[in-house]
Structure 1
Amino acid sequence: MITGDLKSKVDKLWTTFWNNGISNPLSVIEQISYLLFIKRLDELQQTQERKANRLNRPLENPTFTPDQRAMRWSEFKNLDDAEAMLQVVRDQAFPFIKNLGESTEGSTYAKHMRDAVFLISSPALLASVVEQIDQIPMADRDTKGDLYEYMLSKLSTAGTNGQFRTPRHIIKMMVALMAPGPQEVICDPACGTGGFLVVAAEYLRDLRDGEGNLVLNAPGNRDHYNTEMFHGFDFDGTMLRIGSMNLMLHGIEQPMIEKRDSLSENHSGVADCFTMILANPPFKGSVEKSTIAKDLTKAVSTTKTELLFIPLFLRLLKTGGRVAAIVPDGVLFGSSNAHKTVRQSLVECHKLDGVISMPSGVFKPYAGVSTAILVFTKVGVKSGGTDFVWFYDMEADGYSLDDKRQPIAANDIPHLLQCWHDRDPAHLGDRRSKAFFVPRSEIETNGYDLSINRYKEIEYEEVTYEPPLVILGQLRRLEAEIQQDLDSLERLLKP
């Protein structure tokens, strides 16, 4: 999360757009994204040019040719004539990034950019925005991601239909839980701006083998990373554009971000495709029953999105594929037949690996909804389901649980990750601690209730009191003192 000077710079940039008539938050983010994308393309080429100069080699496959030099951020940002800058950006640089992927067969980026529109028509506005963006430090990947998340937090539509933006540190925790490998095929079927995919990409980019070598440098891994690893579905065209640019800004050459309503019958043929799913699907929403894929309604009779996404995950995964998904607490203990069916399926037919209870303020300021993370594995028909479920009671995430979400010292995430990677069902753990195992038989006895309060043991401290006669004596003494004070006050008030 960004604070201080950087936050002030983003707020000022946002206000500049609003003062110049671009007040739709999504439009503001889109326009900033286009400019950030142009800037990033230039920075990447500058890095390649410096490397080529050090090696005394010609630059291979440059993004900008010498004839396109005027379109580079480092060139037009220095123009004194704001009108000339607008002409370069609007008439050259923007059409260039809009058509960037057209030569690549199957480029989803090119499809999403077809409807993109550059809305900045004022030379003064563009000059001011370019100057402000140029002053925002973007070299650090975490800063870049936090900046993007902070802009997204300004969306007036955030929280509508349960579409809450997932805090970046929670995404990083979930990716660390799953520890993706270099040959994963990762999907987020409700990807929005692509936050889960970006963090997974960053994790893999830094991942090293036992000898300290980057795993992406192994034969075949880099090509798989760039072209086949990352998949995302959403039905909002603006989000698809932002998500595609977000992934490309983070170094993924061909992200497979597709326009799909994941729950619909129109896309029911997508199955057994992915090895990992990372997601925060919409909460508290309902969809029209006639549009839902028949295989999903067969698995669970409901129109609630938070329940329908679980059988969807299972359909999308290959056998052995893994899921880490955020769900509202109601999924864990809801008493309807649909709730029980979903939980029973995870426990009896698949492998429910873990249930992580999160504090209710994680999604503030959007909402105070209580949530949990379900971690499960799709298993084959004859694999026997779950033996033990690992529970963790996360009470603090490093930020205050109010609307301000200020950094604090209390943070269970490092301990959670350590316990997860060290977990051993042979040692069930003390149910008075944060982490412990529960056997399937006990979960079954409790109607497949997965709420942590059903199983966690709370240790109460014994409180001792004085005998009643002693307490009564203390009360009499207090009353006597009060009466003396009243008498003194009365004497002071008498003439």
Structure 2
Amino acid sequence: MLQNNQVLKGKIDLLWNKFWSGGISNPLTAIEQITYLLFMKRLDDLDVKRKANAEFTGEQYISKFEGKWLPTGMPDTEENYIEKSTLCWRYIRHIPPEERLQHIQLKVFPFLKELNGEDSPFTHHMKNAVFIIPKPALLVEAMSTIEEIFDEIEKDANQGGQTFQDIQGDVYEMLLSEIASAGKNGQFRTPRHIIKLIAELVGPQLGNHVADPACGTGGFLLGAYQYMVTQLVKDQKELKLDEDGFLRGSVSSYLTEEVNQILNDSLYGYDIDVTMVRLGLMNLMMHGIDNPHIDYHDTLSKGFTESSSYHIIMANPPFTGSIDKGDINESLHLSTTKTELLFLENIYNLLRMGGTAGVIVPQGVLFGSGKAFIDARKVLVEDCELKAVITMPSGVFKPYAGVSTAILIFTKGGVTDKVWFYDMQSDGYSLDDKRTKLEGYGDLQDIVKQYKKRDPNKGSDRKAKHFFVTKEDIVAEKYDLSISRYKEIVFQEVVYEKPSVILAKLKELEREISKEIIDLEGLL
């Protein structure tokens, strides 16, 4: 995780402070403006890389910065056309400060907003976006710091054996941690290693339609993309395990145009915050997904009509929220306004028959005694194959939240016979606010290993870290899915010394303390 890189964290702090002192004090406004600059830089880097790959493979690639561009609304005359080569980061960074700010505001940013054509989701959601960095000096300093950040990220990636990183997402996460620690905003992202774990468990394949109905910056969609690309290239290129023990890679030169097109049409995200939609769109585009399918929608509301559309859903929907009862989609039948329950039912509805979901829920969903809680769990057990319940420790989402959570893995339309439970004790990071990387991988790799080789026909020891529970037992407990309901606690007998021996030791300690005090008094 990049947040453990102190050099990088220092540069992020520096960038944050520059925006703050430069007059942009609203946290989300600052993040959005920083993201635009990250996008400009990454887009140029990706273009250079793709051009080099095309030359190596002999395939044709047309650079985004080749040819001329006519800004929307301008008369179609020769003098109004702009050379695209003047709109890339490499060119911009050499323009004098005063001219640079004006060049970006009047030419570069309008060009970026129309990058995918007027009918694309990106252009639609960028329509009202504004580049509002106020001072040339702030722009120059910010661009310089961003170049240093990218250099550090590349160095971190090479040392950590990672050929793929959610660059914008990781930088965004660091910025959000600053906000969270100051209590200014409640936004938070799912840790990268937890996304990688869920991707391993649900196993999206090339050609699957993958969705996240509350996608934020698109971390789960990138996690699915990263997993699928790894499966495609791992036999062609030697990949190293990353810091969490996962095999991951992204080598675009090994993918054909046809495969790239399939991957581009595989990922779908929705969010109710237009800023998150923009960030998510840019994040996916920064990783080679040319025309992402991320849209502005409240997937719980009456205005959202999709159903039975996706092979895979990976999500961490909002907790502890509620929705106006009158606006809840008619397809949702749970008698509740709690978003964590409504999202769970919605995810079930969005899955195709035979589709699989990996969803993070607060642990209260596992044992809540209200009718809506029981009905939600009943759907998972009776109308799905509930494959796994993996409970996670409460520190996984620190410093943003201390709530205890669990991962549910289920397949729509399957038959539940036995449910596999795993009690995660460690995710490989300290469970305090610092979330420091620990030696090893915690339980992450054991979860993947045990899940893939689980055999419900073998005996199940409920004293162990993982075990099976029959559907009959779960039904008898009103569909309770909390691991504590079924795990057998092993009590170890502790032998204490006799009271007389303990007292004798206390007296001896007291004599030693008295002697030391007398010696100190003598010195005075």
Fold shared by both chains (TM-score > 0.5): yes
State the partner residue of 2:424. Answer: 394
In structure 1, the residue matched to 2:70 is none
Q: Quick check: 426-435 or 111-120, which moved more?
A: 426-435
* Residue 102 (structure 2) aligned to one of 76, 87, 93: 87
Structure 2 gap ranges (5+): 68-82, 158-163, 238-250
Q: In the alignment, does 2:141 pair up with 1:128?
A: yes
C-alpha deviation, 1:84, in angstroms: 1.5
Single out whichever of 207-216 and 307-316 deviates more from structure 2. Answer: 207-216
Q: How many residues align?
A: 479
* Structure 2 match to 1:414: 445
Pick one of 337, 340, 343 that aligns with 1:309.
343
Match of 1:350 in 2: 384
Please tell me the residue identity of whatever aligns with 2:273.
D
The Cα shift of 1:305 comes to 0.5
| Correspondence for 2:490 | 459
- The superposition leaves residues 289-341 of structure 1 with CA deviations (integer Å, 9 ceiling, x where unpaired) of 11111221x2x101101111111011111100111011001000011111111
Quote the RMSD (CA, aligned, Å): 2.8
Gaps of at least 5 residues in structure 1 are none
Relative to 1, partners in 2 of residues 1:286 and 1:160: Cα closer, same or farther, differing over 3 Å? farther
Q: Distance in 1 between matches of 2:94 and 2:142?
A: 13
Which deviates further from its counterpart, 35-44 or 304-313? 35-44
Distance of 2:323 and 2:490 partners within structure 1: 43
Q: In 1, distance between residues paired with 2:98 and 2:513?
A: 80
Q: How much has 1:252 moved relative to structure 2?
A: 0.9
Corresponding position: 1:271 with 2:307: yes
Residue of structure 1 equivalent to 2:247: none
Tell me the equivalent position of 2:248. none
Question: In 2 relative to 1, CA 163–307 (structure 1 residues): closer, same or farther, beyond 3 Å?
Answer: farther
Secondary structure in 2 matching 1:31: helix
Which of 56, 69, 90 is residue 85 of structure 2 equivalent to? 69
Residues 20-29 or 209-218, more deviating: 209-218
Structure 1: how far apart are the matches of 2:513 and 2:391?
Answer: 53
Give the structure-2-normalised TM-score: 0.85
Q: 1:265: how far off?
A: 1.3
Give the aligned partner of residue 115 of structure 2: 100
Asked if the contact 2:180–2:399 (Cα under 8 Å) also holds between the matched residues in 1, the reply is no
Supply the distance in 1 between the matched residues of 2:515 and 2:7 (Cα, whole angstroms): 59
Residues 123-178 of structure 1 show CA distances to partners (whole Å, capped at 9, x for unaligned) of 11111111111112254432624323223333459999975421111111111111
CA 1:143–1:201 in 2, change beyond 3 Å: closer, same or farther? closer
Kindly provide the amino acid, as one letter, of the partner of residue 442 in structure 1: D
What secondary structure, in the 3-state scheme, does the structure 1 residue paired with 2:473 have? helix
**Residue identity in the other structure for 1:221:** V
Alignment check: 8 A CA contact 1:430 1:436 kept = yes
Q: How does 1:13-162 map to 2 (within 5 A)?
A: 13-51=15-53, 60-65=61-66, 67-79=83-95, 81-103=96-118, 105=119, 107-136=120-149, 137=151, 138-139=153-154, 140=157, 141-142=164-165, 144=167, 145-155=169-179
Describe the SS at the equivalent of 2:353: strand
Q: Percent identity?
A: 44
Higher relative contact order structure (alpha carbons within 8 Å, sequence separation ≥ 6):
2
Asked if residue 440 in structure 1 is aligned to residue 485 in structure 2, the reply is: no
Structure-2 separation of matches of 1:54 and 1:480: 80
Q: Work out the CA distance in 1 between the residues paired with 2:148 and 2:503.
A: 67
Judged with a 3 Å threshold, the aligned counterparts in structure 2 of structure 1 residues 181 and 483 are, in CA distance, closer, same or farther, namely closer
User: Structure 1 residues 463 and 43 mapped into 2: Cα distance closer, same or farther (>3 Å)?
Assistant: same
The one-letter amino acid paired with 2:422 is Y
Q: Is the 8 A contact 2:173 2:188 kept in 1?
A: no
Question: Matches of 1:219 and 1:149 in 2, distance apart?
Answer: 32
- Conservation of the 8 A alpha-carbon contact between 1:109 and 1:244: yes
Specify whether residues 348 and 50 from structure 1 end up closer, same or farther in structure 2 by C-alpha distance, changes over 3 A only: closer
- Separation in 2 of the partners of 1:249 and 1:321? 28
Residues 161 and 423 of structure 1: CA distance in aligned 2, closer, same or farther (over 3 Å)? farther
Report the alpha carbon displacement of residue 432 of structure 1 after superposing the two structures with TM: 1.9
Shift of 1:426: 1.2
In structure 2, distance between residues paired with 1:303 and 1:4: 42
User: Structure 1 residue aligned with 2:228, among 175, 200, 204?
Assistant: 204
Q: CA deviation at 1:481?
A: 7.3
Q: TM-score, normalised by structure 1?
A: 0.89
CA shift for structure 1 position 489: 7.3
In 2, the alpha carbon distance for the partners of 1:480 and 1:276 equals: 67
On the 8 A contact 2:420/2:466 being kept in 1, the answer is: yes
